[in-house]
Structure 1
Amino acid sequence: MPTHPWTTTPITAELLRGALDLERTAHGVLPHRLPARARAQCADPQLAMVESQPAGVRLVFRTRATAVELDALPTKRVYVGAPPRPEGVYDLVVDGRLTEQASLSGGNTLTIDMTAGTAEHEPGPVGTLRFSGLPDRVKDVEIWLPYNETTEIVALRTDAPVEPVPDRGRKVWLHHGSSISHGTDAASPTTTWPVLAASRGGVDLINLGFGGSALLDPFTARAMRDTPADLISVKLGINLVNTDLMRLRAFTPAVHGFLDTIRDGHPTTPLLVVSPILCPIHEDTPGPSAPDLTSLSAGRLRFRAAGDPAERASGKLTLTVIRDELARIVRQRAAEDPNLHHLDGRELYGESDSAELPLPDELHPDAATHRRMGERFAERAFAADGVFRS
């Protein structure tokens, strides 16, 4: 037990990093990664689920406390017929060093049947995390929330007072991408590839990676336009194939429009367009992606490409088509926008990586691949000659 009475600290925007909006709920505070105006413009339950999953969101405070308790209400996902999902992980970082990890029992359950296209929500109890034995000195504490569990923060208790951490003057990197940027199948919230890259680059991350939802939505572009940032990147492609959302005729002007909107708020900010990493099932075969029912019946979650390669002639998108077009668009725009840059995603994960570290479910990288991608992005973007160099 703590040697001093517990102090309960209200959860405010001053203590939360990486969220664009805070919603007051019946239980506490729900961080959102899209503002309310954007959320009101899309009724897609997939987007609603993933933008409320706090990828890159962390509580940050300064304290002398040796014990910290966090009450939270997570929403955990269960996929019918698939192996259980790993529990969400909370990472405790003290003065920049990962110190402890924990998971939270209890919480709500969202049961998803991919074959039927249904989802059922079952309410559950609030849980409590406790971190103890922290050093008895003034220190900066970060609690990184699970990237894969919607998390309502109910209460923060410490055995010494808490105050916000002053601005450290670090650059803010605003990134948008798919489930791979979101963090799917990384080991923990501080080991997703964007967080690893941000750590190496010495920048503060705002992660707008939305699983299944990097779809060139205008409201996402407007959210990026209106968010203060020193560095911006957009990783585009895989979800447009996954969902079979548009054809090449629509894709090209949609990319231009997305970049135009970002530039309305950030006219000279370094802006990096990243094309898809290698994904063998969709390199030359259009979407949509579909669960592999044979694997699912055997208790494994894997995906397959359900499109027909012949449909490329009618404008259906593949990753090869998207990479070529993104490179062309950036070349065209860079003639008038010297701060616009391009990175081929296969520089982060390509043919040789696929042979060594194949995508376990055919779509998402594993923990080792997240680490490799984070290191490579940092080498290319934050190095002395990188596009995000200081």
Structure 2
Amino acid sequence: MSTLDHENTTRWITTPITADLLRGALDLERTAHGVLPHRLPARARAQCADPQLAMVESQPSGVRLALRTRATAVELDTLPTKRVYVGAPPRPDGVYDLLVDGRPAGQGTVAGGNTLTIDMTTGSAEHRAGPVGTVRFSGLPEGDKDVEIWLPHNETTELVALRTDAPVEPLPDRGRKVWLHHGSSISHGSDAASPTTTWPAVAASLGGVELINLGLGGSALLDPFTARALRDTPADLISVKIGINVVNADLMRLRAFGPAVHGFLDTIREGHPTTPLLVVSPILCPIHEDTPGPAAVDLGSLAEGQLRFRATGDPAETANGKLTLRIIRDELSRIVTQRAIEDPNLSYLDGRALYGEADATELPLPDALHPDATTHHRMGERFASHAFTPNGLFADRTAVV
């Protein structure tokens, strides 16, 4: 990041921010300030009034401005919405990652913006309006180049204005496969250091694919409208990471879970009948391996200024159909095995191959639910090795060799 001023010697070109300059968003809403990228289409958003879902789907994980330009300086005005959790440590400002020709070339933040103050003990939230800010990058290489600005993965970001010192055009299609992924806050990015270092972004970079990330914090709940969004989004590769939110929300029992998974996959297959489709079960999460949800904030830790979660269910309740991560992994493996008899492009990955017992000893989950920045890198590397190789899980099993 640099501090680029509005100097008289700089001749700025303002370019309207339109959908063809963005990748990773499924919808673009016009606002009083500019445009707001969404990761669920308007029809899906209209079918659920949950404020948690509304917050996370508007956080642009995987969304980036993608430009072809000779510009050596770029300014982006945005209106972020910062989250403040009562009693918890302050959250850092969201990070903007700059890539030039696919390589990291800078980072920046935007101060100010709106503030959403959330009290996790009562569930209340208060919104306070704030000012637009600017992230600036300068010193970019001369000549034509691909420029991407990845928006903060965990900070709702309205795009107000784009200025450059040379014309821009949409980044051309480079012929890379599109990978469409859905999951929980872990896929959304949780405690990753920046938007290009969430585990799906790391995996996509290593696999040479274009990412559309529908990781929705707290909201990977087998919702039919999410399945329809996956169904209707063009993609060459699809993965769905299912389980942790179903447990920590205590959303359903085993009787409902199996049919819900079948229905979710059926809907995806309506739009993608032969696309390689990977079902990923939960990574290791010790508090929920054998203890059902719901999850709750550990108030004792919160009183000490630390945010941690705990499982509040009773392991004995599994006899009545309550779900744990072990039960969900067994059920997902069974469902995929059953369906794969007629669906050769369907496969399964045990999430513990991405983060398992040894990892939990070395890199324990800081808040008992979410991996840290180092673990995101590790998970991304492992996913890429499992999926994005010639004989990996995304290989086309119906292709004639």
TM-score, normalized by length of structure 1? Answer: 0.99
Which residue of 129, 138, 142 maps to 1:132?
138
Q: Which residue of 2 aligns with 1:52?
A: 58
Q: Which residue of 2 aligns with 1:168?
A: 174
Determine if the alignment matches structure 1 residue 148 to structure 2 residue 190.
Answer: no
Q: Secondary structure at the match of 1:104?
A: coil
Instruction: Note the alpha carbon deviations across 1:272-315, whole angstroms, 9 max, x for none.
Output: 00000000000000000000000000000000001111110000
- Counterpart Cα distance in 1 of 2:52 and 2:280: 23
Determine if the alignment matches structure 1 residue 347 to structure 2 residue 353.
Answer: yes
Q: Which amino acid aligns with 1:374?
A: G
Q: Which residue of 1 aligns with 2:3?
A: none
- 1:245-264 equivalences under 5 Å are 245-264=251-270
Assess if the C-alpha contact under 8 Å between 2:276 and 2:395 holds in 1. Answer: no
- Counterpart Cα distance in 1 of 2:162 and 2:61: 19
- Counterpart Cα distance in 2 of 1:229 and 1:111: 36
Shift of 1:165: 1.3
Instruction: Note the alpha carbon deviations across 1:27-64, whole angstroms, 9 max, x for none.
Output: 00000000000000000000000000000000000111
Determine if the alignment matches structure 1 residue 269 to structure 2 residue 280.
Answer: no
Q: Which residue of 1 aligns with 2:126?
A: 120
Q: Which residue of 1 aligns with 2:247?
A: 241
- Counterpart Cα distance in 1 of 2:10 and 2:375: 44
Q: Which residue of 1 aligns with 2:115?
A: 109
Shift of 1:115: 0.3
Q: CA RMSD in A?
A: 0.8
Which residue of 207, 210, 227 maps to 1:201?
207
Q: Which amino acid aligns with 2:143?
A: R
Q: Which residue of 1 aligns with 2:226?
A: 220
- 1:1-390 equivalences under 5 Å are 1=7, 3-389=9-395
Q: Which residue of 1 aligns with 2:4?
A: none
Assess if the C-alpha contact under 8 Å between 1:2 and 1:66 holds in 2. Answer: no
- Counterpart Cα distance in 1 of 2:196 and 2:68: 19
Q: Which amino acid aligns with 1:203?
A: V
Shift of 1:384: 2.0
Assess if the C-alpha contact under 8 Å between 2:112 and 2:132 holds in 1. Answer: yes
Assess if the C-alpha contact under 8 Å between 1:2 and 1:67 holds in 2. Answer: no
- Counterpart Cα distance in 2 of 1:389 and 1:277: 23
In the TM superposition, structure 1's runs of 4+ consecutive aligned residues that sit over 2 Å from their partners are 1-4
Q: Which amino acid aligns with 1:354?
A: A
Assess if the C-alpha contact under 8 Å between 2:186 and 2:371 holds in 1. Answer: yes
- Counterpart Cα distance in 1 of 2:172 and 2:186: 31
Q: Percent identity?
A: 81
Assess if the C-alpha contact under 8 Å between 1:3 and 1:159 holds in 2. Answer: no
Q: Give unpaired runs (5+ residues) of structure 2.
A: 1-6, 397-401
TM-score, normalized by length of structure 2? Answer: 0.96
Assess if the C-alpha contact under 8 Å between 1:270 and 1:388 holds in 2. Answer: yes
Assess, with a 3 A threshold, how the Cα gap between structure 1 residues 242 and 46 changes in structure 2: closer, same or farther: same
- Counterpart Cα distance in 1 of 2:52 and 2:42: 16
Shift of 1:66: 0.9
Count of aligned pairs between the two proteins:
390
Q: Which amino acid aligns with 2:322?
A: K
- Counterpart Cα distance in 1 of 2:137 and 2:258: 49
